Amino acid sequence: MNGKQAAGYRAVEWVEPGMTVGLGTGSTAYWAIQRIGERVKQEGLEIRAIATSKASEKLAKELNIPLYEAADIPHIDLTIDGADEVNPQMDLIKGGGGALLREKMVALKSDKLIVVADSSKDVNVLGTFKLPIEVVPFASEWTLDLLRRRYEVPMDFRQNEGSIYITDNGNYIIDAAFGRIEETGKLADELKATTGVVDHGLFVGIAKTVVLGNEDGTVSVRTK
């Protein structure tokens, strides 16, 4: 069992019968969804689930995990999701898989966000991974220009086979190479307040638990 699988499996130990669970997106959240599917099949685990992306929704359906629409879910007990980077304060960079908006909406609706990642994602300071910024397509060039002039760091639209990448919500993503992000809250607030920006991949003060998987299959757990 590799680190990603170990982290995903460990996080599912928090899932209890009757819970409403948010299903994250990415290569480590994949293993959590797989494990939930195993428990549904083998234990008859009864839960309600909501997916954070079309990819996770497809996987959940294949595993017969009961899925619900947001309108039918008043609250979420816990969400298990991955991260591209996590610092000692459990602030995150997310969005490498392009699902940051739905991931953040589901996380903020949850009583508890459990982050699963392999140990390589554990960093002292966020920012080595490019920060994804989701923007509306209309006048997106203006938004990109504004952000470039404001921050003076390399950034551009994410590409997919030679075309601009389009999220599940029909938006674009700008990947910004900020480097060391010392003031995560300040940057998060600035970006969120920018007209044309839908949301961004800084998750500040949201995660309650981080499960890091090591190459040898062991895990370490960090909690607030």
Catalytic residues: 103
Q: How far apart are CA 154 and CA 178, in angstroms?
A: 7
The residues near 100 (Cβ < 8 Å, ≥ 6 apart) are 94, 132, 134, 173, 199, 200, 201
Three-class SS of residue 7? helix
Rounded to whole angstroms, how far apart are CA atoms 132 and 150? 16
User: Looking at residue 67, what DSSP letter applies?
Assistant: B
Nearest-CA neighbor of 29 among 103, 80, 93, 97? 80
Q: What are phi and psi of 205, to 5 degrees?
A: 70, 20
Could you give the CA distance from residue 108 to residue 96 in angstroms, rounded to a whole number?
A: 19
Number of H helices, E strands in the chain: 6, 15
Task: State the DSSP code for 12.
Answer: G
Q: Where are the alpha helices (DSSP H) in 27-180?
A: 29-43, 54-62, 100-109, 140-151
Question: Cα dist. 134→101, 110, 141, 143, 175 in Å?
Answer: 8, 22, 13, 10, 9
* Cross-strand pairs, 203: 92
